[in-house]
Structure 1
Amino acid sequence: MDIIPTFGDELVATIRPSYELLSSILNRPENARAIRATKRETLPYGPHKRHLLDLFTPRDSAVNPSGDGPRPIFIFVYGGGFKAGDRTIPEVEGGLAYANVGSFMADKLGYETIIMDYRTIDHGAKYPSGGDEIDMVFDWLEKRNVGKPRRDVYIMGNSAGAAHVITWLFEPAYDESVKRLTSGQGDLKLKAAASVGGPFRWYYKDMTDTFLQSILVTYYGDEKKVDENAPTEVAHRAIDSSGENVSKTRPPILVAVSEFDPEYMRRSGKEFAEIWEAAGGKVEHWIVKGHNHISPVLCMGTGGEREEAWAHEMMKRLQDLAH
């Protein structure tokens, strides 16, 4: 863990050394064996070839966070800058990421865990398609749980995946689903949502990364829409347009930003938390010490107490927010 801060907080500069370091740890024989030992099924949740999810089932001896009740569900929406990302990414050898997340959450923390693929811009993604696909996964889950005891669900989005989660929580198209799930009126109860390293604003005109600018324009539609549909602005519109107290129809939100995330992510995450709290939302802003933009999710499954501590703390904070 001590080496991660030395990589700095510039996103591009942190990517390669972070992947190399954490890939080597995940590929230690004891870690690779544990990750591959977790029961894993790949299932379709929709019609597109990208509409697949990996379902990780906890071993029988795993702790049950719900006690004697049905195991809770954890949904992970990975990042990738709207262009990359997959349930299994090539940057980590041996196909261990993001199976590391599924294995850690299932066997160590006891959650039935879903890692969902979604369309990127190379597969025709256009705003708000990320929200569409999260909604589809919840629909798949509801159908799967019909007639069974109600189950608690937590959702976490990382980086671009966090943008998709906030889109789903606040775009009007998903109001019915989000309200139903938050209220627990159906077969699922959405307990809380987490953004880890989420970009709440893009500051498009201030960007020096022209490649990212082109990706954002492709996804959002044009330069104006990039900033108009940034997560904080989507939430702003929901707050301003709602005839009811929108905060009562949304789950608690944990805004987790790494100490060495890019500065604009740290700044915009804090701003979002302040705006949502002022609107009456239940929210917590948390600086994850010692981590950068890449390291949190890749530390899950490394077996190190310090490396995995943040994930234990995240779930504790989510559970505390939910009660």
Structure 2
Amino acid sequence: MDQIQQLPRSIGSSVMPTMKAYEPLLRANATAIRSTKFETCAYGSHPRQTLDVYYPTKRRRPSVSSGNVPVLIFLHGGGLVVGSKTLPLADGLAHANVGHFFADKFGYTTIIPDYRLMSHGARFPSGGEDLAQVVAWVRETMTRQDGYQNVDLFIMGNSAGGIHLATYLFAPDFANARNKIMTQDPQASVVLRGVVFLSVPFNFRQADPSRAEVIKEYFRDIEANSPQGLLKATMLRDPDNVLLNVKVMVLNGSLDPEDEILDPKKEFLDEWDKLDEGSRQALTVAVMDGQNHISPPLSLGTDIEREEAWGHQVGDFLDSLRS
């Protein structure tokens, strides 16, 4: 963490130095990270539509009163063009460290999927489509496993993964899919309880010029299809029913770049503030002190208290929704 305080805030300039800084921290705890059992499953027909499921060794947090099994989907970042559920960093310890952290510390079965990138033909709303298929896999396949008949579902999207989360939550294309998990039906097998937007670019008005072509090609109508644009359209279409009873956390690093991340976050929150009182109360806004845009997923599983502090912020938030 001390090293990244000295790095540039711009995303492109901070990627490789941040990874270099965290590689030895992950290697130092490799045995623990690799001790978490996982399996790889297909959730769709495309080669990129696979996911890793990390299983807790035992249920933790006995004070949580819900009898449902907690399942967390983590969508990694990568700017729509790169990224994987298993990065080559530290011999594949990233993002296994994320799965290990939430499984070991909080007892959450953690799913880390790959999704189609632009080199695979991904174009808006493909990220939402892939997430919808992951959720369908949880509903139709995972609930057949022993002990997973009733699931409290949570979804966290990091950077580009958060774009896909917003697409799934707000685009009209996924209304039917959302209705299956945004419900108060006590007989529902899977219920979405909360989502986390982790360092997400909510609009692209100040995006780095080097990304302009990618953004235009993916979104086509950038303003309308950005997370903020989708939220605005949802407010106009159905102002009293934006996310039903789902709780939302917007979480950013104190070292996130102002132009691409923090300024758009402020504008997104201004839009959110126009929602009804219930929706406003459903929102939690928090900061990860000392983290930049790249570091949060790399800091988990290091077994270093201040590095993992944000993971405990998220875990405590999710647990609070299960009480």
Q: Residue 93 of structure 1: which of 70, 90, 93 is its match? A: 90
Q: Which amino acid aligns with 2:225?
A: N
Question: 3-state SS of the aligned residue for 1:113?
Answer: strand
Q: CA deviation at 1:199?
A: 0.3
Structure 2 residue aligned with 1:59: 57
- Give distance in 1, aligned partners of 2:68 and 2:255: 37
Given the alignment of the two structures, is residue 42 of structure 1 paired with residue 40 of structure 2, yes or no? yes
Q: CA deviation at 1:13?
A: 1.8
Q: Which amino acid aligns with 1:229?
A: N
Q: Residue 234 of structure 2: which of 235, 238, 248 is its match? A: 238
Q: Residue 261 of structure 1: which of 244, 249, 256 is its match? A: 256
Q: CA deviation at 1:217?
A: 2.0
Q: Which amino acid aligns with 1:266?
A: L
- Give distance in 2, aligned partners of 1:65 and 1:22: 33
The number of aligned residues is: 313
Given the alignment of the two structures, is residue 201 of structure 1 paired with residue 196 of structure 2, yes or no? no
Structure 1 residue aligned with 2:166: 166
Contact 1:169 1:250 in 2 (8 A): no
Contact 1:217 1:226 in 2 (8 A): yes
Q: CA deviation at 1:233?
A: 0.5
Q: CA deviation at 1:253?
A: 1.2
Q: Which amino acid aligns with 2:82?
A: A
Structure 1 residue aligned with 2:270: 274
| Structure 2 gap segments, 5+ residues each | none
Q: Which amino acid aligns with 1:69?
A: G
Q: Which amino acid aligns with 1:285?
A: V
Structure 2 residue aligned with 1:33: 31
RMSD: 2.0
Structure 1 residue aligned with 2:110: 113
Contact 1:64 1:110 in 2 (8 A): no
Which one has a larger percent helix, Structure 1 or Structure 2?
1
Structure 2 residue aligned with 1:187: 189
Contact 1:41 1:54 in 2 (8 A): yes
Q: Deviation string for 1:64-112 (max 9, x for gaps)? A: 674582430010000000000111112x121101001011111121100
Given the alignment of the two structures, is residue 227 of structure 1 paired with residue 226 of structure 2, yes or no? no
Q: Deviation string for 1:212-255 (max 9, x for gaps)? A: 1121122123xxx122211000010011112x612352621111
Contact 2:234 2:242 in 1 (8 A): no
Structure 2 residue aligned with 1:217: 216
Q: Percent identity?
A: 33
Question: 3-state SS of the aligned residue for 2:262?
Answer: helix
Deviates more, 1:226-235 or 1:41-50: 226-235
- Give distance in 1, aligned partners of 2:164 and 2:62: 28
- Give distance in 1, aligned partners of 2:66 and 2:319: 17
- Give distance in 1, aligned partners of 2:154 and 2:63: 12
- Give distance in 2, aligned partners of 1:68 and 1:164: 28
Q: CA deviation at 1:15?
A: 1.1
- Give distance in 2, aligned partners of 1:124 and 1:132: 13
Q: Which amino acid aligns with 1:252?
A: K
Structure 1 residue aligned with 2:99: 102
The TM-score normalised by the length of structure 2 is: 0.91
Q: CA deviation at 1:308?
A: 0.3
Structure 2 residue aligned with 1:139: 136
Question: 3-state SS of the aligned residue for 1:307?
Answer: coil
Structure 1 residue aligned with 2:311: 311
Q: Which amino acid aligns with 1:270?
A: K
Structure 2 residue aligned with 1:178: 178
Contact 2:219 2:226 in 1 (8 A): no
Structure 2 residue aligned with 1:76: 74
Structure 2 residue aligned with 1:24: 24
Question: 3-state SS of the aligned residue for 1:152?
Answer: strand
- Give distance in 2, aligned partners of 1:256 and 1:27: 26
With over 3 angstroms needed to count, the CA separation of the structure-2 counterparts of 1:65 and 1:35, relative to structure 1, is farther
Q: Which amino acid aligns with 1:179?
A: N
